[in-house]
Amino acid sequence: MPKILIFSIAYHPFIGGAEIAVKEVTDRLPDFEYYLITNKFDANWLDEEKIGNINVRRVGNGKKIDKYFYPFRAFRYAWRLNKLVKFDFVWSIMAFYAGATALFFRYFSKIPYLLTLQSGDSDQFLKKRTWWWSFWYKRIYRRAKLTQVISKYLGERSRKMGNKGEIILIPNGVDLNLFQANLSIEEKIALKRSLGISADDFVLISASRLVFKNAIDDLIKAVNFLLYKSGLKVKLILIGSGPDEQPLKNLAQQQGVAENVIFLGHKHYSELPRYLQLADVFIRPSLSEGLGSAFLESMAVGTPIIGTEVGGIPDFLKNEETGLFCEVNNPSSIASAVEKYAKNPELYQKVKNNGLKLVPEKYDWDSVALKMAKLFEKMIN
């Protein structure tokens, strides 16, 4: 059985788009043996455990500073582990901590690595974090045997970094069994009532980390536009946590919309479909985006989307076909897009139907896993 070593700075129970992707793919491909070395973000997490088909190994002591030592600790652990397991190739999840580990492991072990690019951070943000080691950072992109990207935008970034090798576009997918399970009318009514949402409220939702790049502040300001300029009765549900949570709550107070913005905090991934189905529109006015799996998940449940024309979003969002674009850093533009949906039922239904059709055709995890299996075989052969 082929053996794959995975480097990833984070993994379950920490959950983000990349972590979900790794688990969804490996769960569907049992004909490979997986070992994943990740950082121990919590002292209570186990050093070793089996999650799905992956043998997970955590390095560190559960301290905040541990992630900075991850490349050294992961390299050392992998070096010892390789003497026992004899890996066929390395799979690096993103190009920062994991990529650095894969690069130096390749230099010393001669084992090639597959680089997967998922990060939605902007080029400017990455430059600030990597300028002092840019010589090596660029080599992470250039020394990969194969590169998998989840959007055209990330493929272009890889080329800008000097990657002259093969780049394969395989996007993240959606768990259709989870996101196509419908809530009954009674369940929707009960859930709305529990959140203080009236039957005549036009419900907006966003699910993301509460951080600068997701521009949730613009979304809150857009609620102010809708209430006091357009006269549309709206409620905004925010799912997620992050360092900007309290500043965003303060902003809602300052904007006079605190009663119209519902902060639900972090929710388990399995709970997302019921909240997405509750809403009329999903919005994330991102400043940067690798792909945007939450948009696809919203489309899968039949909730039309609004997004900015940045990063990987244009791969699936075609204006007035599969969603609506709004401008970056423009709350008024967000409000106008919401109004367009609210006042044009034909457009709303068209976008909804197109989204329901697109996701099973192009973003089903089963088809994604089959493409990844071919990529794994290519790495081995």
Q: Parallel, antiparallel, or unpaired for β 234-239 and 281-284?
A: unpaired
Residue 15's pLDDT is: 82
For 106-133, the pLDDT digits (tens) are 999 999 999 999 998 888 999 999 999 9
Domain boundaries, the chain: 3-173+364-380, 176-362
Show the tokens assigned to 298.
Answer: 């919203």
For 276-323, the pLDDT digits (tens) are 999 999 999 999 999 999 999 999 999 999 999 999 999 999 999 999
- Look up the CATH number of domain 3-173+364-380: 3.40.50.2000
Which of these, 86, 101, 76, lies nearest to 8 by C-alpha position?
A: 101
Q: Parallel, antiparallel, or unpaired for β 234-239 and 113-117?
A: unpaired
Given this chain, do its domains 3-173+364-380 and 176-362 carry the same CATH topology? yes
What is 176-362's CATH superfamily? Glycogen Phosphorylase B; (3.40.50.2000)
The one-digit pLDDT tens for each residue of the chain (381 residues) are: 999 999 999 999 988 899 999 999 999 999 999 999 999 999 999 999 999 999 999 999 999 999 999 999 999 999 999 999 999 999 999 999 999 999 999 999 999 999 999 998 888 999 999 999 999 999 999 999 999 999 999 999 999 999 999 999 999 999 999 998 788 889 999 999 999 999 999 999 999 999 999 999 999 999 999 999 888 999 999 999 999 999 999 999 999 999 999 999 999 999 999 999 999 999 999 999 999 999 999 999 999 999 999 999 999 999 999 999 999 999 999 999 999 999 999 999 999 999 999 999 999 999 999 999 999 999 998
Cβ pair 55, 36 in contact under 8 A: yes
pTM over 0.75: yes
- Give the list of residues 6+ apart from residue 129 with CB closer than 8 angstroms, or none: 96
